[in-house]
Chain A
Amino acid sequence: MITLQLLVNGLALGAAYALVALGFVLVLNATAAVNFAQGDLVMAGGLLGVALAPHLPGYLPLPGLLLLPVVLVLMAGLGLLLAVAAYLPLRRRPPVAVFISTIAAGIILQNGASVLFGPEPRAAPPLLGGGTLDLGGLVVAEQSLAIIAVAALLIAGQQWLFGRTQLGRRLRATAQDPEMARACGVPVTAMILITFALGTAFAGAAGLLLANRYFVTPTAGGDLILKAYIAVTIGGWGSVPGAVAGALLIALFEVGVSSVLSYPVALGLLYATLLVILVARPQGLFGEAARRRA
């Protein structure tokens, strides 16, 4: 039973990390740029949830869930702003320029959050409720189930959008060959803006989901971008399913392995695993898919 509980907790954490990594890889594919602000955008989503929570009408059920669409929309707007300020003016410069500009954007977000919220950890409201559910002896936190359900819905929505719609085809074409996409009539700049909006909305959702059980501080982004980077490296640079798989693997170590051994040992083993994958399978677990990006 304990194992099942750990599995649910690990899945919840991995699902939230998957959203972070998914947003990161979408922008990476569309622009070939590494968005180092992604972790700070997660933090911003969490603090946005904290800031909006007092304004929720208390008489409604599931008040935390109401925050989700608001956070998604506002963070999508922040993503557009990020693209306009830190990517578009530098898109024809060497990749290092965008690398630095997104680091700068992240530091601005971090310091802005410190000024507005102070350094103390904050918690966003739970999506469904702060209690637990007893499922035939399996006691599960409602928030864990909410995280899994919301992340799964968002990932499924992304898969549907990219796989089944004309907009998704244009987003994928832009990611695979932007010049050829233009030659097919695709408005590539608009597609890049939409991708930034989507990637940032996913980061915001992850922030809101994580900020209840794991709290949020203005400096939390550094750790999260590292996890997104590792997830994408493990999964295969540019692979969407790889990013999700890599995120779940990280959570498996952080929750599963750490419960058997200890957190520091689990982290050490995670990085050792990363090294083994880099040496034995440098293209990552889904490297084939990354090369021919689905």
Chain B
Amino acid sequence: MSEPLLQVEGLTAGYGGAMAVDRLSLSVAAGEAVALLGANGAGKSTLLKAILGLVPATAGRVRLAGEAIDALAPERRVRRGLGYVPEGRRVFPGMSVRDNLEVASWLDRAGRARDLERVFALFPALEGKAEERAWRLSGGQQQMLAVGRALMGRPRVLLLDEPSLGLSPKLAGEVFAAVRAIAAAGTAVLVAEQSAARALSATGRVVLLRLGRAVHDGPVETLPAEALRDAFLGG
């Protein structure tokens, strides 16, 4: 396997006094898609936010291509190569689809236009809605927009939080097909999901979280069924 692009080392993070992520370590290489699985409250969302810097870490280290990024504000981490798709999409509702995408780009006009075309090629449903306000889109289209928006920043590492939440199986399948394509193009992808079957179908490696700690980290095909059951149901 190639050198990891994202390395998380002994990360501890939480809200106030409550610790949601406990000395957690993992890594993701370029072109690799890793599923982050666990029950509600296992610490998946907090981990992604702590990697991005939206939740402060109290211990540990985050490295991007070997460089520590802990001291950087979230916006600086994004400019260095992190992309984030939050739970619940959180598109900018009053802005058009095109503006939602362009706002996340740091290229000149021509570069933005090229990247817009790439996003529209990945999500053709968005192209016809380019001038629509984002709040008018369906849930699935908003999810595509949220993924496309993150891609406009040309991330080296893409963090996705519950991308299938609230979507029909068909739309969720489309989103995960896009996730596979993004990883195949060389981006390191870390995807937090509650739907284990869907996440495992799109990734090569799985990290199981339980009470903020990684209890399993390995290839999807070696994941013991009981570890998965324990992570979701306890035991």
Interface centre among B78, B92, B99 (most CB of A within 10 A): B92
Whether B54 pairs with A179 at a CB distance below 8 angstroms is yes
Q: What's the least CB distance linking B193 to chain A, in Å?
A: 19
Interface size on B, residues (CB 8 A): 25
Q: Is the CB of A294 within 8 A of B104?
A: no
User: A residues 148-188 with Cβ under 8 Å of B?
Assistant: 166, 169-170, 172-173, 176-177, 179-188
B163 within 8 A of A: no
**Structural contact, B78 and A183, CB atoms closer than 8 A:** yes
* Chain A residues within 8 Å of B117, by CB: none
Please, how many angstroms separate the alpha-carbon atoms of A245 and B65 in the complex? Answer: 52
Alpha-carbon distance A53/B210, docked complex (angstroms): 70
Chain B residues contacting A176 (CB-CB under 8 Å) are: 92-95
Does any Cβ of B come within 8 Å of A292's Cβ? yes
Whole-angstrom CA separation of A11 from B54 in the bound complex: 46
Classify the secondary structure of A's interface with B. helix
Task: Identify which of residues 176-209 in chain A touch chain B, using a CB-to-CB cut-off of 8 Å.
Answer: 176-177, 179-188
Interface pair B79/A173, CB less than 8 Å apart: no
Q: Which A249-294 residues sit within 8 Å CB-CB of chain B?
A: 289, 292-294
Bound form: Cα–Cα A183–B133 in Å: 20
B61 within 8 A of A: no
B106 in contact with A185 (CB, 8 Å) = yes
Interface pair B73/A172, CB less than 8 Å apart: no
Q: Which residues of B are found within 8 Å of A289, using beta-carbon distances?
A: 94
B102 within 8 A of A: yes
Alpha-carbon distance between A118 and B52 when the two chains are bound, in angstroms: 53
Considering only residues 16-75 of chain B, those with a C-beta below 8 Å from chain A are 52, 54, 73-75
Does B140 interact with chain A (Cβ within 8 Å)? no
Q: Please, how many angstroms separate the alpha-carbon atoms of A182 and B90 in the complex?
A: 12
Cα–Cα, bound, A169→B106 (Å): 12
* Contact present for A182 and B73 (CB under 8 Å): yes
From B75, B78, B92, B104, give the contact of A172 (CB < 8 A).
B92
**In residues 189-204 of chain B, which contact A (Cβ within 8 Å)?**
none
Bound form: Cα–Cα A28–B93 in Å: 17
Residues from chain A with Cβ under 8 Å of B54 in the complex: 179, 182-183
Closest A residue to B80 by beta carbon equals A185
Which of B52, B74, B150 has most chain A Cβ within 10 Å? B74
- Binary flags per residue of A13-43, CB closer than 8 Å to B gives 1, else 0: 0000000000000000000000000000000
- Which residues from chain B contact A184 at a C-beta distance below 8 Å? 75, 78, 103-104, 149-150, 153
Q: Which residues of A contact B (CB under 8 A)?
A: 166, 169-170, 172-173, 176-177, 179-188, 289, 292-294
Given contacts A177-B90, A185-B153, 5 further A-B contacts (CB under 8 A): A173-B92, A182-B54, A182-B78, A183-B52, A293-B94
Residue positions of B touching A, CB distance < 8 A: 52, 54, 73-75, 78-79, 84, 86, 90, 92-95, 99, 102-106, 133, 135, 149-150, 153
Q: Which 3 A-B pairs have the closest CB atoms?
A: A185-B78, A169-B103, A184-B104
